[in-house]
Amino acid sequence: MIDIKLIRENPELVRESLRRRLKDGRQVDSLLELDAGWREFKKQADELRARRNEISEKINEAKKRKQNVEGLLREARNIPVKFRKKKPS
């Protein structure tokens, strides 16, 4: 198995290796596109999780101060919806 880091850093080397074995080197480009899509999806998912954690902390602080938390709760409920809408490309 080839490490994805090697493919990211040296795609031409991997392409040439595939060509020498009489295989099509264009698969490397497809793999790199999929990898870029996955990395973007993961970044967005991580940002949503961080926002959810931030909101949870604010909700806890607001409840301790006996403040209204409806707006924060509404935002927290929308995060899973946003997460489901995001798909790896």
pLDDT tens digits for 27-86?
899 999 999 999 999 999 999 999 999 999 999 999 999 999 999 999 998 888 887 776
Rounded distance between C-alpha atoms, residue 28 and residue 6, angstroms: 11
pLDDT at 88 over 70: no
Query: In angstroms, what CA-CA distances link 87 with 10, 25, 35, 39, 43?
Result: 27, 27, 13, 11, 12
Question: What are the chain's domains?
Answer: 4-85 (1.10.287.40)
The pLDDT, as a whole number, for residue 32 is 95
The pLDDT, as a whole number, for residue 39 is 95
Which DSSP letter does residue 45 get?
Answer: H
Is residue 19 within a helix (H) or strand (E), and if so which, with residue range?
helix 11-20
The pLDDT, as a whole number, for residue 89 is 53
The pLDDT, as a whole number, for residue 85 is 76
The pLDDT, as a whole number, for residue 2 is 86
